[in-house]
Chains A and B, each alone.
Chain A
Amino acid sequence: MEILGQDRREGLGRKASSRFSLFLLTAVAVLLLFSSLYSAQASVFRKARENAMDAAAPILSFLSGPITYVDGMVGKIGDYFRVLEQNDALRQENAELRQWMDEALALRETIAAYEQLQTYQAPPNARPVDAFVIGETNDAFAHSMLVNAGMQKNIKRGQAVIDDRGLVGRIVETGAHASRVLLLTDIQSRVPVYIEGAEVEGILVGRTKAHPEISFIEKDVQGIDLRGQRVLTSGAGGVLPRGLPVGVISDGEQNEMAVNLYANYARTRMVRVMNYEFPQLAPTEDTTISSTDALDG
């Protein structure tokens, strides 16, 4: 009996396991890797990822609760030590915001007057969906977050995700109850933006660093000092709505065009998915493609 038990204890990987299966599985992994290289968006892989995401969502949301709590506690302890300077900063910010509020109220009146005009057509309303961040890819290269809202809440691929500060990223995978948000810093992230003031359009490209960079497509900006200018989504390509705040051009080298994002990924807990229908004359090709894609997979 005892010898049998001895055998069974090693049942998970008998002696012979080591070399052969190691080689075999490494070969399988490398093959998988190369096939994902050539078909990164293959529906099989995407389906697998979406299923895994759905399966892991309950575990992740269960575990992320206490983590958020502890994080909040740690944050509070930090706040105790910085309460004076924070108070000062807030007072200053409040004063500035009051001026902005006056200006906004005046603008609202003006806009209301314009909207009375016959020719005015209201832009389609966004129907935002709120969601909590339940997971995050703490990887060196992949930068994404999982949120607890999916197809059941009518979330689709390509939709913009914002938090209280600005654009966070866009939806790239949707499960039934969870979705993946590709952050602006991810190497795969490409977001059409424009720079306020200069009216220059470009593409915000993720570089896996904290500050994504703008690569220009529209016009040469050599010699124009754009540092400190606001960057907003341009809506080009018809995926993200126009005018979502993204960040400001950082103070570094003039030609570098790195962007300080408004979004602070270390603090992003709650996000809003912009369920935005683009105003279009022709039927939206993009959404039909993605929906058939989802059906295929």
Chain B
Amino acid sequence: MGARAEGLSRLAKAATPTALGLFGVIALALPVRLFEGHLPMPVIPLAVVFFWSVYAPNYLPALSVFFVGLLQDLLSGGPLGLWPAVYLITQYIVLSQRFYFLGREQRVVWLGFALAAAGAGIILWLIMSLMSGVLLPIRSLALQMLATVAIYPAFGFAFSHLHRRVLVEA
């Protein structure tokens, strides 16, 4: 009994980042109109992908990232493969730079996230412009990424507590 419960809790812990990513996707699909739609919804899955790619990549394998992105495509009605590509490329870039971020101050990590969000935004804009055949206006995308970056410290704080206190602690 005890062993099984332990196994279950381990599984739950291992799956938490993935679940958070999926939750972020659901949040993006909900009709939340922050300040009457003047404030765009932050892309929470991007913060999830960034955080766990820096601090504990084992907890968020590429397959999870892929399916989080795919669900986002399915729910947003966009072309399939768009968000998986954006998240996976972000993950790749972050993984290649993660040793720079480990042990740094939160401010530095925040700056890193801002760069990652900017990169993700540029990839997104390039792909969508390519697919629609015109150079798309960049304003709403920039606002959304700004909102995501602005709210990242809160998520970073919450995620690091969750990770240290709950997920890693046996």
A interface residues (Cβ-Cβ under 8 A, vs B): 5, 8-15, 17-18, 21-26, 28-37, 40, 45, 48-49, 52-53, 56, 59-60, 63-64, 67-68, 71, 133-142, 144-146, 172-173, 180, 182, 187-188, 207-209, 265-267, 269
Contacts and interface: CB of A to CB of B under 8 A. Distances in A.
B105 interface: no
B59 A29 contact: no
Contacts, number: 187
A256 B128 CA distance: 24
B31 A18 contact: no
Contacts of B130: 37
Contacts of A266: 33, 36-38
B131 A37 contact: yes
Interface of B: 6-7, 10-11, 13-15, 18, 26, 28-33, 36-38, 40-41, 57-66, 69, 71, 74-82, 84-85, 88-89, 91-92, 95, 124, 127-128, 130-132, 136-137, 139-141, 143-144
Contact of B137 (A172, A182, A207): A207
A26 B32 CA distance: 30
A144 B41 CA distance: 14
A173 B75 CA distance: 11
B128 to A, nearest CB: 5
18 contacts: A8-B10, A12-B18, A13-B63, A22-B88, A22-B95, A26-B88, A29-B84, A32-B84, A37-B130, A53-B74, A53-B75, A60-B29, A71-B33, A137-B76, A138-B41, A138-B144, A187-B136, A209-B137
A36 B79 contact: yes
Contacts of A56: 26, 29, 75
A5 B6 contact: yes
Contacts of B127: 33
A48 B139 CA distance: 30
For chain B, what secondary structure do more than half of its interface residues adopt (helix, strand, loop), or is it mixed?
Answer: helix
A12 B61 CA distance: 7
B30 to A, nearest CB: 6
B142 to A, nearest CB: 8
A223 B6 CA distance: 76
Contacts of B84: 25-26, 28-29, 32
Given A36-B80, A208-B140, A135 B75 contact: yes
B31 A32 contact: no
B141 A141 contact: yes
Contacts of A188: 132
Residue among A29, A37, A134 with max Cβ neighbours from chain B (10 Å): A29
Contacts of A12: 14-15, 18, 58-59, 61, 64
A29 B29 contact: no
B26 A59 contact: yes
B123 to A, nearest CB: 11
Contacts of B88: 22, 25-26, 29
A45 B80 contact: yes
B37 A25 contact: no
A37 B79 contact: yes
A73 to B, nearest CB: 13
Contact of B30 (A21, A67, A207): A67
B131 to A, nearest CB: 6
B26 A63 contact: yes
Contacts of B59: 12-13
Contacts of B143: 140
Given A9-B14, A12-B58, A24-B62, 7 more contacts: A5-B6, A25-B84, A26-B92, A33-B127, A63-B30, A136-B33, A180-B77
Given A67-B30, A134-B31, A144 B77 contact: yes
Given A33-B79, A40-B79, A141-B128, A22 B31 contact: no
Nearest to B41: A138
A34 B69 CA distance: 16
A23 B144 CA distance: 27
A60 B77 contact: no
A63 B31 CA distance: 9
Given A25-B88, A36-B79, A13 B31 contact: no
B58 to A, nearest CB: 5
